Structure 1
Amino acid sequence: MSLKSLNVSKKTHKFLLDKLKDKRTLQIYKKFESNLPIKKNFIVAVSGGPDSLALSFLTKIYSIKKSLDVKYFIVDHRLRKNSTLEAKYVKKKLKNFFIKLTILTWKGIKPKKNIQSIAREKRYKLLADIAKKYKINNILLGHHLDDLFENFFIRILRGSGLKGLISLDRETHKNQVNLIRPLIKIDKKDLVYITDYIFGSYINDPSNENDNFKRVKIRNFLKQLSLEGLDRKKFFLTIKNLKFANENIEFYIKKNFEDNVTSLNQKNMVILKENFFSQSDEVVFRSFTEVLKIVGKKYYAVRGKKIDKVIDLIKAKSSFKVTLGGCLIKKVNKTIILSKE
């Protein structure tokens, strides 16, 4: 690096680090830093809302302090008329703070139904593909404490089990990359404060006010509960306790695999011992779901009702043959054999 470039870099770092002289910003940053113990380069997913803009600033500070190379990307879904202009606006705004933002565009036919969930999956796929291109394993997302609560109630309405209720965790693995949520313990109001203080403005997505979407209905419901005295700390403690219970179940699932599963032909065929189905219902259900994903080479699990039917069949009949989730399932005597369909 030339002497001139070094001086520019020092001035840039000082300009950004001076923002931490604000007491509240410093407190939020310290909380953020304690929730992000990684020492490798990463990608930041930006949307233009207050959450992701706050994440952009916090990660930029983090990268300076830890000497890391961070790449920033925003996905233009082209679902709204002004989406491309908004993406360019965010790019220009971040450039003023020495954050280089690259726009990824979702090309092709857009969905008519399940728009938000399909768009979210496409966003993750585009980000995962770019992460693989740069050989980066970690993508940071702007989900925060309020998202955790919203997700909990959405899953309740869907009839999710324990694992589903706590699915929005600090870190998950998807599309062969790590999705990390370092804001998961930070309130939205703190993120809005940082964005207002640093950037002065942000993009308001009109879909966030459209109560045709389930998430918006839940958000409004939680606001009402808050007015009536919802204790957020106790709510968070409940989710924390559920996570602890889930960890115990995961322990027994792992033990069930170790004791009762035999893999053959590089996991293209699996043999399940009789004792595999002698565990608690939840352990059997999750263990069998995972086996189907492994043998069928599927990312998403088969629907729960279909899995329940096959488990009932296994317990009731001495021999049978069915297909499910890309797998051929056979029962011979008391042994279950799964192979790739």
Structure 2
Amino acid sequence: MSQKNLNVQNKTHKFLLDKLKDKRTLRIYKKFEKNLKVRKSAIVAVSGGPDSLALSFLTKIYSLKKSLDVKYFLVDHRLRINSTIEAKSVQKLLKNFYINLNILTWKGSKPEKNIQSISRDKRYKLLIKKANKFRIKNILLGHHLDDLFENFFIRILRGSGLNGLVSLDRETQRDTVNLIRPLLEINKNDLVYLSKYVFGSYVNDPSNENDKFKRVKVRNFINQLGLEGLDKNKLFLTIRNLKLANENIKHYVEENLEKNITILSTKDKLILKKNFFSHSDEVVFRSFTEILKIIGKKYYPVRGKKIDKILQSIKAKSSFKLTLGGCVIKKVNDTIIVSKET
């Protein structure tokens, strides 16, 4: 890098660091820094909206303070006519702040149903592919406090159990890559403020206003509850308490998986010990769900109703053979064998 470009970069970094002189910005950054414990390289998932732009700024400051290598990627889904133009405009905007944004394009046919969930899955696959290429283990996502609330109510509508209700965790793992959400305790209004204050603008995705999507309907419902007196601070405490209860159940699930299964030499087959079923229904249900994910080599769990039917069959029948989630579940007398479906 030439001396001239180096001077410009240093001035830009000073400009960004000087933004912390603003009290509200500093408060947001301190909360962000407290919730992010990354000490190695990371990828930041950018969309161009206020959440991800705020994440880009906060991560840039974090990387300057911690001397980390951070890479920024935006997935152009090409679901809208202007998506590529918008992606390039975000790239140009961030370049002014010495944030090098790379654009990944989703090529091929696009879905007509379940658009948001399929697009999210594709986005993760593209980002994880890049993470593996650069041997990076951490991807930072822009999910925030309002997303936590929306996810909670969406799962209620689906009839989810405790694990589903609190499923938006600060850190999860997918294909050996850590998906980290350092904004989960920061509300949307703060992120909008930060984006306007630092960058001056952000991309508005019209799908965020389209109430044909369940998430938008839930968002509008929560806003209406706010007008009726919903205390979001108390809702956050409720979700946090549920998470604590959920972690306690996870402990017993891990213990059950450690003590009460025998993995055979092929590692594609295991036998459940009799004590596997001696725990509470919830622990048995989750333990069995994890087994199907492990043996079936699936990221997403099998639907709960199907798990319930299998567990009922185990209790009621002396022998059977069923397939579910890429697995063969077989009962012979009192022995339960789970193997990979071939």
Tell whether the structures are fold-level matches, with TM greater than 0.5: yes
Shift of 1:278: 1.9
Alpha-carbon distance between aligned partners in 2 of 1:130 and 1:66, rounded to the nearest angstrom: 23
Alpha-carbon distance between aligned partners in 2 of 1:280 and 1:79, rounded to the nearest angstrom: 45
Shift of 1:207: 0.6
Alignment of 1:27 with 2:30, yes or no, is no
Alpha-carbon distance between aligned partners in 1 of 2:266 and 2:184, rounded to the nearest angstrom: 37
Alignment of 1:231 with 2:241, yes or no, is no
Identify the residue that residue 175 of structure 1 maps to in structure 2. Answer: 175
Identify the residue that residue 152 of structure 2 maps to in structure 1. Answer: 152
**Residues 104-150 of structure 1 deviation map (CA, whole Å, 9 limit, x = unaligned):** 00000000001111111111111111110110010001110000000
CA contact (8 A) 2:13 2:97 kept: no
Alpha-carbon distance between aligned partners in 2 of 1:73 and 1:221, rounded to the nearest angstrom: 32
Residue pairs, 1:235-274, within 5 angstroms: 235-274=235-274
Shift of 1:8: 4.3
The one-letter code matched in structure 2 to 1:239 is I
Identify the residue that residue 141 of structure 2 maps to in structure 1. Answer: 141
Shift of 1:338: 1.2
CA contact (8 A) 1:142 1:181 kept: yes
Alignment of 1:195 with 2:218, yes or no, is no
Change (3 A) 1:64 1:266: farther
Number of aligned residue pairs:
341
Shift of 1:299: 1.6
**Residues 20-41 of structure 1 deviation map (CA, whole Å, 9 limit, x = unaligned):** 1111111111111111111111
Consecutive unaligned residues in structure 2, runs of 5 or more: none
More deviation in 11-20 or 144-153?
11-20
Shift of 1:178: 0.7
Identify the residue that residue 61 of structure 1 maps to in structure 2. Answer: 61
Alpha-carbon distance between aligned partners in 1 of 2:266 and 2:54, rounded to the nearest angstrom: 45
Identify the residue that residue 81 of structure 2 maps to in structure 1. Answer: 81
SS in 2 for 1:336: strand
**Residues 64-116 of structure 1 deviation map (CA, whole Å, 9 limit, x = unaligned):** 00000110010100000000000001001111111000000000000000111
Task: Name the % identity.
Answer: 75
**Residues 9-30 of structure 1 deviation map (CA, whole Å, 9 limit, x = unaligned):** 4323212111111111111111
The one-letter code matched in structure 1 to 2:146 is D
Identify the residue that residue 98 of structure 1 maps to in structure 2. Answer: 98
CA contact (8 A) 1:267 1:294 kept: no
Alpha-carbon distance between aligned partners in 2 of 1:160 and 1:312, rounded to the nearest angstrom: 19
Alpha-carbon distance between aligned partners in 2 of 1:26 and 1:299, rounded to the nearest angstrom: 38
Shift of 1:175: 2.9
**Residues 179-236 of structure 1 deviation map (CA, whole Å, 9 limit, x = unaligned):** 1010000011111111111111111100111111111111111111111111111100
CA contact (8 A) 1:273 1:334 kept: no
* Aligned-residue CA RMSD (Å): 1.3
Alpha-carbon distance between aligned partners in 2 of 1:175 and 1:260, rounded to the nearest angstrom: 26
Alpha-carbon distance between aligned partners in 2 of 1:297 and 1:212, rounded to the nearest angstrom: 33
Alignment of 1:119 with 2:119, yes or no, is yes
TM-score norm. by structure 1 comes to 0.97
Alpha-carbon distance between aligned partners in 1 of 2:149 and 2:266, rounded to the nearest angstrom: 40
CA contact (8 A) 2:9 2:98 kept: no
Identify the residue that residue 321 of structure 2 maps to in structure 1. Answer: 321
Alpha-carbon distance between aligned partners in 2 of 1:285 and 1:321, rounded to the nearest angstrom: 19
The one-letter code matched in structure 1 to 2:258 is E
Alignment of 1:300 with 2:300, yes or no, is yes
SS in 2 for 1:288: helix
Identify the residue that residue 220 of structure 2 maps to in structure 1. Answer: 220
TM-score norm. by structure 2 comes to 0.97
SS in 2 for 1:113: coil
SS in 2 for 1:94: helix
The one-letter code matched in structure 2 to 1:74 is L
SS in 1 for 2:81: coil
Identify the residue that residue 131 of structure 1 maps to in structure 2. Answer: 131
Change (3 A) 1:201 1:3: closer
